[in-house]
Structure 1
Amino acid sequence: MDFLEIAENVSHKIWSYNQDSSGWNLAKGSRNVTVCWKPSTEFGGNLYRGEGIIEDIPEKIIPFMYLPEYRMKWDKALKSYSILERLDEDTVICHTVTHSYGMGLISSRDFVDLVKIKKYEGGIITTNSRSIDYQACLPSPSCVRGYNNPCGYVCSSLPQSPGHSRLTIFIQPDLGGMLPRSLVESALPNNIINLINDAQAGLKSAGY
Structure 2
Amino acid sequence: MDYLQIADEVAQKIWSYNQDDSGWKLAKNSKNVTVSWKPSNEYAGNLYRGEGIIEDTPEKIIPFMYLPEYRNKWDTAVKSYTFLERIGQDTVISHTITHSYGLGLISSRDFVDLINVKRYEGGIVTTNSASVDYLKCPPSPSHVRGHNNPCGYICSPLPETPGHSKLVVFIQPDLGGMLPRSVVESAIPNNIVNLIKDTQIGIKAMC
TM-score, normalization by structure 1? 0.98
Q: How far apart are the structure 2 equivalents of 1:50 and 1:102? A: 19
Q: Which amino acid in 1 is paired with 2:37?
A: W
The equivalent residue for 2:192 is: 192
Q: Which amino acid aligns with 2:92?
A: V
The residue correspondences of 1:49-198 to structure 2 (distance < 5 A) are 49-102=49-102, 104-198=104-198
Matched letter for residue 101 of structure 2: Y
Determine the C-alpha separation between the residues in 2 that align with 1:48 and 1:193.
11
What's the offset of the Cα at 1:103? 5.1
Aligned to 1:27: 27
Distance (Å, rounded) in 2 between the aligned partners of 1:157 and 1:88: 26
Question: How far, CA to CA, are the matches of 1:21 and 1:169 in structure 2?
Answer: 14
CA displacement at 1:100 relative to structure 2: 1.5
Deviation at 1:104, TM superposition (A): 3.7
How far does the alpha carbon of each residue in 1:53-73 deviate from its partner, in whole angstroms, 9 at most, with x for none?
A: 000000000000000000000
Q: CA deviation at 1:182?
A: 1.0
Secondary structure of the corresponding residue to residue 153 of structure 1: strand
Aligned: 1:206 with 2:171 = no
Does the CA contact (< 8 Å) of 2:102 and 2:187 recur in 1? no
Q: What residue is the counterpart of 1:2 in the other structure? A: 2
Label 1:105 to 1:24 Cα distance change in 2 as closer, same or farther (>3 A): closer
- Using the size of structure 2 for normalisation, the TM-score is 0.98
Task: Indicate conservation of the 8 Å contact 2:58/2:155, yes or no.
Answer: yes
Match of 1:21, SS state, is: coil
Pairwise CA distance, 1:32: 1.4
Residue 102 of structure 1 and its aligned partner are, at CA, apart by 4.6
Gaps of 5+ in 1: none
How far apart, in 2, do the equivalents of 1:125 and 1:106 lie?
32
